[in-house]
Amino acid sequence: MNKTFLFDALREATDEEMQKDKSVFVLGEDVGHYGGSYKVTKDLHVKYGDIRVLDTPIAENSFMGMAVGAAMTGLKPIVEGMNMSFLLLAFNQISNNAGMLPYTSGGNYKIPLVVRGPGGVGKQLGAEHSQRLEAYFQAIPGLKIVACSTPYNAKGLLKSAIRDNNPVIFFEHVLLYNIKEDIPSEEYLIPLDKAELVKAGTDITIVTYSRMRYHVVQAVEILIEQGYKPEVLDLISLKPIDIHSIVSSLRKTHKLLIVEECMKTGGIAAEIIAQVNDNYFDLLDGPVVRLSSQDIPTPYNGNLEKATVVQPQQIVEAVTRMLS
């Protein structure tokens, strides 16, 4: 076991897959000589050269199109978005081309493409750098969406994403890169479509993902002191949603709270609520509750920014209300 930062876990995954498979390459802004905005590709250009770790111009639509074309020819591109917010400039390439080409080509093309990079609400990065794009991409057919949350799952998920024959949108949170934990020195893979049981419990199911996992864990420590036994699931897979793990938990607890950093309107929680109400309504003892970010552009002001995002105390209050 090695104590590893999340950004280093991602770097290790990329390095190992590039070493194993010569068709894997990285492209994006400042991924080469600079080593990536958050050092996920640090020094890889020294090992693999400037073609396999390719610095691109600031032209997201263009280099995403190049990546899709490369994937069509049998290469396995990893596109780093310097900030995932900027990938809205490549939305057409991701949706109309990456997501749909396997279908519109009658199965003649596979698109083994990973689009990864930092997203989420950071610390005073302003509205345009604080996007949560999971809701934007969720409706696109043909995509898989993953949100890593720990160094351990980051490495195992990225390796699986690189080996997958479908386009995978791989969300990393800008505030989680410096989280550190022990990860195995031997190789391991994590499935792209399974939620992770963070804590077993019997009173209520709390579903979350990405950075909110840590806010939930803080809240759960307080709730346990108050005598409650919450069960916590980290979704990890945002498309497809692992509804089976959620339902399995609901069969024990019969109450569901969803905590997300995504906006409330059309967010991941909205989709989970729809699926649960449509197919598993009889398992519920009461309405599903969701705690989501405010439906406003994220303010630059630190206090206002904090007020837009769900905080641990709000989670404690929601659980106590639901169980009282």
Helices (H), 172-293: 212-225, 243-253, 268-279
**Residues taking part in catalysis:** 60, 129
Strands 196-199 and 230-234: antiparallel
Contacts of 166 (CB under 8 A, 6+ apart): 102, 110, 111, 112, 142, 143, 144
64: three-class secondary structure by DSSP: helix
Rounded Cα gap, residues 76 and 97, in angstroms = 15
CB atoms within 10 A of CB 190: 19
CB atoms within 10 A of CB 74: 10
**Phi, psi dihedral angles at 244 (to 5 degrees):** -65, -40
H/E element, 92: helix 91-92
